[in-house]
Amino acid sequence: MNQPVSGFSKKTKAEKIEWLAENYLQNNSDSIRILKNYWNEDASLQQLHDDFIENTLSNYYLPFGIAPNFLINGDLHALPMVTEESSVVAAASNAAKFWLERGGFKAEVISTEKNGQIHFDFFGSEKDIENFFEEVKPKLRESIQSIEKNMKARGGGLLELSLVDKSHILDGYFYIHASFETLDAMGANFINSCLEQMAHTFEDEAKNYEPFQKKEVYPEVVMSILSNYVPECLVRAEVSCKVEKLTTKHQDGLQFAEKFIRAIEIAKTESRRAVTHNKGIMNGVDALVLATGNDFRAVEAGVHAYAARNSYYGSLTHATIEDGVFTFWIELPLAVGTVGGLTSLHPLTKLAFEILQKPDAKQLMKIMAVAGLAQNFAAIRSLVTVGIQKGHMKMHLMNILNQFNASKEEKNEALEYFKDNAVSHGTVNDFLEMMRS
């Protein structure tokens, strides 16, 4: 039976791998070789990666691809995308090409506020805590002057403070809601530093507040933390064209548009459909979030919370036909940054920003929203026409061939054969067995 290990983080990388091999890998030389094969030959670059997290053993690679031909607000973009899912880049590229000939994408940032809360308990008079908050608010602002100095110089910083009473839901529960503008930074560290400093000031000032002293009832901070739910940090992207411009050799424009809108309405109505619908949107968004070194977990959490903001979980996209014009759009809460974190550290992240022509945070929000809209358009278009599996499994074919250790010749033959035949693990296996026999 394996035993706990102490001081693991202080071991060298070689010692960590040795410990792992002895305890969990049966000293398997192939496993050790795999870990070392993914080390970067450039020692300084490997050290940079080692420093990103604790207890680094190796690197985990994902494909870094490009989806070209995105016309956004009149400018042509190529989108760097990091993902492991076979059809994502292809679908995004197809949607970009489709809309390139129909006016492209339009995007606008609606708002950029981010927020955090100081959560505290108070079991005294509601009037006392309201009066104290109004009195202490200027001191809370003053207490973070040194923290927000540089941010304010650039035009950002703390915007507003408000007291929220939730004691009717949870006995004694209140919080201070703080809104911020963090400009090109995602702002998590900045916001958390401000909140923690204001929390200390809040508690210190409360000790000297006479109404609390008289009743010996004081507010007690539970925690201070930013929120990844950012409905005030919102971006919109859309495409539109006359219905007849949707007509292709494979589809009638009006029939396609009506079926497309029906699919969106189903995703608005049925949460089981909406989850997969929105997951497809995030295929595109996350690929860009990863490529630019942003926090995809934070973005995912905020987006899915926004999808459930009306007390049920529904579609993030919308579509209409009005006066013969088809319009398809999305609104997403996206708190992302172009400075800080990995954005200036990871070499491929820096390259991604170069490919994107060094956007600021607002421009990046627009591009990400467009990526999500394009991904959803491609998915719905497939679903209401040929079905999702035809395109997806074609893209997945190479993965299946690699699983069966197909040779280069076998891959070429398979790619030709499956142009007109259904792809599945079974059919690929049968094909390879036929070739090999």
**347 lies in the same domain as 399:** no
User: What is the number of domains present in the chain?
Assistant: 4
User: From the candidates 77, 346, 392, 396, which is the catalytic residue?
Assistant: 392
In a domain, 246, yes or no: yes
Span 12-19, average pLDDT: 94
User: From the candidates 128, 238, 295, 346, which is the catalytic residue?
Assistant: 295
**367 lies in the same domain as 255:** yes
Is residue 277 annotated as part of the catalytic site, yes or no?
A: no
Beta bridge partners of 238: 106, 329
In a domain, 1, yes or no: no
Distance CA 257, CA 320 (A): 8
In a domain, 424, yes or no: yes
Domain of residue 428 covers 392-436
Q: What is the pLDDT of residues 155-213, one digit of tens each?
A: 999 999 999 999 999 999 999 999 999 999 999 999 999 999 999 999 999 999 999 99
Looking at residue 244, the DSSP 8-state letter turns out to be G
DSSP string, 128-141: HHHHHHHHHHHHHH
User: From the candidates 85, 113, 410, 413, which is the catalytic residue?
Assistant: 85
Residue 352: φ, ψ to 5°: -60, -40
**248 lies in the same domain as 264:** yes
**353 lies in the same domain as 366:** yes
**122 lies in the same domain as 220:** yes
Is residue 75 annotated as part of the catalytic site, yes or no?
A: no
Span 204-224, average pLDDT: 97
Share of the chain above pLDDT 70, in %: 97
In a domain, 400, yes or no: yes
What pTM was estimated for this model as a whole? 0.89
CA distances for 350 relative to 23, 356, 359, 363, angstroms: 38, 10, 11, 16
**106 lies in the same domain as 126:** no
How far from the centroid of its chain's Cα atoms is residue 414's Cα?
A: 35
Judge residue 364's burial from the number of C-beta atoms within 10 Å of its C-beta, 0-12 exposed, 13-18 middle, 19 or more buried.
buried
Please tell me the predicted confidence (pLDDT) of residue 316.
98
**175 lies in the same domain as 322:** no
The CATH number for 194's domain is 3.30.70.420
Q: What is the pLDDT of residues 77-98, one digit of tens each?
A: 999 999 999 889 999 999 999 9
More confident residue, 230 or 421: 230
Task: State the average pLDDT for the chain.
Answer: 94
Task: Say which range, 324-328, 357-361, 390-394, has the weakest mean pLDDT.
Answer: 390-394
Q: Which two tokens stand for residue 334?
A: 């996206």
Is residue 430 annotated as part of the catalytic site, yes or no?
A: no
Q: At what angle do helices 361-383 and 253-269 cross, to 10 degrees?
A: 110
Check pLDDT > 60 for residue 391: no
Of 186, 283, 272, 170, nearest in space to 226 by CA: 186
**43 lies in the same domain as 130:** no
**Band of residue 403 on the pLDDT scale cut at 50, 70, 90:** confident
Distance CA 153, CA 276 (A): 43
**250 lies in the same domain as 356:** yes
